[in-house]
Structure 1
Amino acid sequence: MISPLARKSFSLLFLLTLSFVFLAPTIAEAQKFVANYDESKIPDYQLPDPLVTQAGEAVTTPEQWRERRSVLVDLFEKHVYGVSPKPCPIRHSLVSCDENALGGKAVRREVDVFFGESDDAHSMRLLIYTPTKSTGASAAFVGLNFQGNHTIDPDPSISITESWVRDRRDDSTDGHRATAAGRGVAASRWPVETIIDRGYSLVTIYYGDIDPDFDDGFQNGIHGPLGSQLDDVPQVHRWGSIAAWAYGLSRALDYLETDSAIDATRVAVIGHSRLGKTSLWAGASDPRFAMVISNDSGCGGAALSRRAIGETIGRINTSFPHWFCDQYVKYNENENACPVDQHELLALIAPRPLYVASATEDQWADPKGEFMSATLADPVYRLLGTDGMGGKSLPDEMPAADQPIKSGRIGYHLRTGKHDLAKYDWEQYLDFADKHLTKKE
């Protein structure tokens, strides 16, 4: 027989369960993220000054900046992207070569680069185009792609990635596997022939070869085989996926230093969206990249986090908990507590050429915040003897759409259109590269 007390407890539990079932949607709805796009509702914030040390001392010389830079890199590692392993040795293997690609304009190669020298080392596949008319080693653009190397050009001889891919609704995937239907579907973002015609090489890698873009506890990709090198690093400070993708870009540059067709001292790293965040961190953490390009990188990329417009730290950590280090979660809806902000990331690239781009319909990525970051990095560029954004003074306001600023060492434009890597963007980047990556005779 059930006692009166037990019946009462059971009834209470039943009512609580029913309450949860019926109230759960309401609670979830109340917690649903609502982005702010109203400038008047930006919370009060104070930006850290890249030219002021943690002790409050002014940085006034290039020598002092070198010390300050080291501190900032450490802060970004421990609080944003995570600490990565030391560079591993690599080996490489030629997979294919077409000396008559693009109607004879280019040599196209596929090269596997291995993260380590063991037979079972993890690998990534580089798709490399070099211009046949080049009289020597050419400058190059290197960047990660979202859907596989086979998607940047319809050429049927480009291998289809065997790595995990995000399922799409265009028949280019089947159960997280890439299919032949995906050939060339991302060609609009990779104007290979235009790049070759301008005299540059192109190197691209499917980012999923390095680390799959889902929260798998870092069991796949390079985190597993290389993770043991971080046993002495607290868990909260260990690398996330963005740092892993950047690490892969640096190992690609290691390979390019052995490639006689490409001048590894004139390599621009480029990325769009989350891969724009990656190109910025790659450029900041590896000074060998000669130029850095951020296309619509937004929160965790070029946009100021403290503005909390569009995507925020809290929103990005909730949706993509694997991108950043665990420490970054402490700044969810608490941006002012973070010891760094993204203008300092851009400053870490100084004095090398930097280009930041936004799009008018991409308010989620906070174009104004991206532009502000570029202007706030300018003083560091000028301290190091460059002209920063060009001119004697900074622009008073954002440029109009399709009116690029590219006379100085820092370039910026706001393109008409949506979140994308478009032909217009590439035209500006190629012009910028002509100015800064042309080999001086």
Structure 2
Amino acid sequence: MRRSPVPVAVALLLTGHLSAVSRAADPPKPPVKMTAQEDHKRMLELLKIKEIRRGADGNPKSANAANLDESKANPYPDLPDPLVMKDGTKVTAALWAKRRAEIIEDFDREVYGRVPKNTPKVKWEVTATEKQTVGDVPVVAKKLVGHVDNSAYPLVTVDIQLTLTTPADAKGPVPVIMEFGFNFGGKGPAPKAGGPPSWQQQVLAKGWGYAIITPTSVQADNGAGLTTGIIGLCNRGQPRAVDDWGALRAWAWGASRALDHFETDPAVDAKRVGIEGLSRYGKAAIVTMAYDERFAIGFIGSSGAGGAKLHRRDYGEKVENVAGTGEYHWMAGNYIKYAGPLTAKDLPVDAHELVALCAPRPVLISVGSLQVEGGWIDARGMFMAGVAAEPVYKLLGKKGLGTSEFPAQETALTDGEIAFRQHAGGHTTGPNWPTFLKFADRYLKEPAAPKPPTADK
């Protein structure tokens, strides 16, 4: 009697080929396409929230105009204590690492979102190397692309755009200031005739280098892009969970991958790399500084809500604005809860603890004037966060702002590791670059050469 033939599927299973056939038969699904409004609504449904409170209006003539009255600005004056553990234990210097981990967990879960444990590797490629002159300084300008491994999900491609410019006559590795910004071929926009030198020229004048990373090459700056970019790649084109990372953490991740590359570049002293950004990129800069302890110094420009401004302040932009359809993608989905039914008072952390996570490293908080930049950014709210972070710096043997009195415009507070200056201009870090570079010189200047050993007598 003849035996029945073994079914093909069984034979494939026995030979270990069934999974390969299945994968071939089921190609990866393309990224889910949604508008920001659709994705925001989906997140509300996941959180079981019907609606959130309306954000403040930047138009002062609006019936819902943002508050600019200091007497009404602090409805929730009590801030979480960064020096008390969850179990009530008072934090000592020896316990700070443990307390730091607790604070990061709260920011991960409720504010900025969690970075996946196994993010794809990045392979850096130098696509161009040019000898240029910036101002009157000869430089070597490199264009780089960080190719993110997408073998697990080929339908999303992420190529991080970065430029690195260093003095051509440098005798060794130099400090580098990296900016979140747009790529101008390494040179930056030409300064106006008769105006001050560009920030790039000011950096080069110190013998340092600079880099510019393009955040949107890492992750799009909108909710519709959350199923692409590095977030979409890690999620294989699917929408986020409520505690997944948002764009700010994604941009910070990109900056950290750039620093990985700098650690391999002989032109860069990777232990003396600073991070700078303005506005939403100021938010990204302080998030980068807080999470990646390898960055030596931070220059945080007009970062406002979601950055160095206290969430508990009702002045200018509010939690409700950041949680809305235009900005929610910066944050974890869980953050939306604090715009309804919860409030900023219910947040387990606030911006002073974000500043504290930078300790003991130096950070300068920069802002423009109320008259020109306006009150949306909330200069005082960022200053107050710096003041409230001071106990952590002191615990670690460093200095803070040294005062709780809001300084006069153009008064630089730079004696401690937390620094602050409000310039007379608008939404820019431009007027504060000289102050920052003088401040940074204290930490990034060339280390003194070791003294030769004294011969034994």
Deviation at 1:190, TM superposition (A): 5.4
Segments of 5+ residues of structure 1 without an aligned counterpart are 1-27, 156-182
Matched-pair contact (CA < 8 Å) for 2:137–2:204? no
Question: Which residue number in structure 2 is paired with residue 46 of structure 1?
Answer: 78
Equivalent residue for 2:107, pick from 73, 76, 100:
76
User: For the aligned residues, what is the CA RMSD?
Assistant: 2.7
Report the residue type matching 1:251 in the other structure: R
Matched-pair contact (CA < 8 Å) for 2:174–2:267? yes
TM-score between both structures, scaled by the size of structure 2: 0.77
Q: Aligned in 2, Cα 1:440/1:226: closer, same or farther, shift over 3 Å? A: same
CA deviations over 1:3-50 (Å, ceiling 9, x no partner)? xxxxxxxxxxxxxxxxxxxxxxxxx99x97421111111324321010
- 2:314 is the counterpart of 1:281: no
**What SS is found at the alignment partner of 2:328?**
coil
Deviation at 1:114, TM superposition (A): 1.6
Deviation at 1:214, TM superposition (A): 1.6
Q: Aligned in 2, Cα 1:420/1:154: closer, same or farther, shift over 3 Å? A: closer
Deviation at 1:99, TM superposition (A): 1.9
Distance 1:75 1:188 in 2: 42
Distance 2:69 2:63 in 1: 18
Matched-pair contact (CA < 8 Å) for 1:354–1:411? yes
Greater fraction helix? 1
Question: Which residue number in structure 1 is paired with residue 320 of structure 2?
Answer: 314
Question: Which residue number in structure 2 is paired with residue 326 of structure 1?
Answer: 333
Matched-pair contact (CA < 8 Å) for 1:143–1:249? no
Question: Which residue number in structure 2 is paired with residue 240 of structure 1?
Answer: 246
Deviation at 1:267, TM superposition (A): 0.4
CA deviations over 1:54-80 (Å, ceiling 9, x no partner)? 222211x21211100001011101111
Deviation at 1:432, TM superposition (A): 1.3
Question: 1:258-407 counterparts in 2 under 5 A?
Answer: 258-318=264-324, 319-332=326-339, 334-361=343-370, 362-389=374-401, 394-407=402-415
CA deviations over 1:322-371 (Å, ceiling 9, x no partner)? 11111001111610000000000000010011111122123111101111
Equivalent residue for 1:194, pick from 196, 202, 206:
202
Segments of 5+ residues of structure 2 without an aligned counterpart are 1-56, 449-457
Q: Aligned in 2, Cα 1:95/1:190: closer, same or farther, shift over 3 Å? A: farther
Question: 1:91-130 counterparts in 2 under 5 A?
Answer: 91-102=123-134, 103=136, 105-116=138-149, 122-130=158-166
Question: Which residue number in structure 2 is paired with residue 153 of structure 1?
Answer: 188
Deviation at 1:191, TM superposition (A): 2.3
Please identify, of 319-328 and 222-231, the stretch whose mean Cα deviation from structure 2 is larger: 222-231
CA deviations over 1:307-333 (Å, ceiling 9, x no partner)? 121000101221312111110011116
Distance 1:396 1:75 in 2: 26
Distance 1:109 1:246 in 2: 21
Distance 1:226 1:253 in 2: 21
Report the residue type matching 2:349 in the other structure: V
Q: Aligned in 2, Cα 1:228/1:68: closer, same or farther, shift over 3 Å? A: farther
Q: Percent identity?
A: 33
Question: Which residue number in structure 2 is paired with residue 25 of structure 1?
Answer: none
- 2:95 is the counterpart of 1:64: yes
Deviation at 1:211, TM superposition (A): 1.1
- 2:229 is the counterpart of 1:221: yes
**What SS is found at the alignment partner of 2:405?**
coil
Equivalent residue for 1:209, pick from 217, 221, 233:
217
Deviation at 1:437, TM superposition (A): 1.2
Question: Which residue number in structure 2 is paired with residue 431 of structure 1?
Answer: 438
Deviation at 1:96, TM superposition (A): 1.0
TM-score between both structures, scaled by the size of structure 1: 0.79
Distance 2:376 2:365 in 1: 16
Matched-pair contact (CA < 8 Å) for 2:72–2:314? no
Distance 2:96 2:66 in 1: 36
Matched-pair contact (CA < 8 Å) for 1:292–1:353? yes
Report the residue type matching 1:282 in the other structure: T
Deviation at 1:188, TM superposition (A): 8.8
Distance 2:405 2:189 in 1: 42
Q: Aligned in 2, Cα 1:128/1:188: closer, same or farther, shift over 3 Å? A: farther
Distance 2:121 2:109 in 1: 24
- 2:177 is the counterpart of 1:141: yes
Give the greater-gyration-radius structure (CA). 2
Matched-pair contact (CA < 8 Å) for 2:413–2:419? yes
Report the residue type matching 1:48 in the other structure: P
Deviation at 1:283, TM superposition (A): 1.0
CA deviations over 1:143-196 (Å, ceiling 9, x no partner)? 211x443496358xxxxxxxxxxxxxxxxxxxxxxxxxxx99xx9995222211
